[in-house]
Amino acid sequence: MKDKLYRNSDKLTRLLMIGLIIEIVSFVGACFDINTLKYWFWIGAGMTILGSVFYIDYYGSEGKTWFKKLDNKRNKNITRKSSEIIFTTAIISTLIFCLPFIVEFFIKDFSTNIIVMSVILVVSIIETIIIRYIVKKTKEQMEEVIAYIEKK
């Protein structure tokens, strides 16, 4: 049952971690004024957004217990709160990620500014930590519920 519950955890974690690694490496390169790495930073940021969307798809949606009794009762659904928090976190970080490109229309090279990139990197790290913590906490709750149901 555990495998079915979190079958894609490794793939999603890899996507988020690869995105973060690309962001960190390209940020360090951008600090040394390597211009091509500045654009790789935004590829890493995009991978982080994509990872967040996948987390919403796999872990954030309600009713992921696969037990009809728990899934049908909205007030007893364990994954409801976590899905709302993951969704809110992903939306806020995506809006923050898109903000430099909107400002880019008015200020040239705004998205390749080191300060902007550092803010985006911090937001990306915080988002990843929050999502991983929520998924871990929800997973522990689900394992307790599944163990209790399987005992009966």
Q: What is the pLDDT of residue 122?
A: 92
Rounded to an integer, the average pLDDT of 39-43 is 87
Q: Is the C-alpha dihedral spanning 95, 101, 105, 111 positive or negative?
A: positive
**What is the C-alpha to C-alpha distance for residues 31 and 38, in angstroms, rounded to an integer?**
9
Q: What is the pLDDT of residue 58?
A: 66
Alpha-carbon distances, residue 43 vs 16, 73, 117 (angstroms) = 12, 40, 12
pTM > 0.85: no
**What is the C-alpha to C-alpha distance for residues 135 and 131, in angstroms, rounded to an integer?**
6
pLDDT at position 4 over 50: no
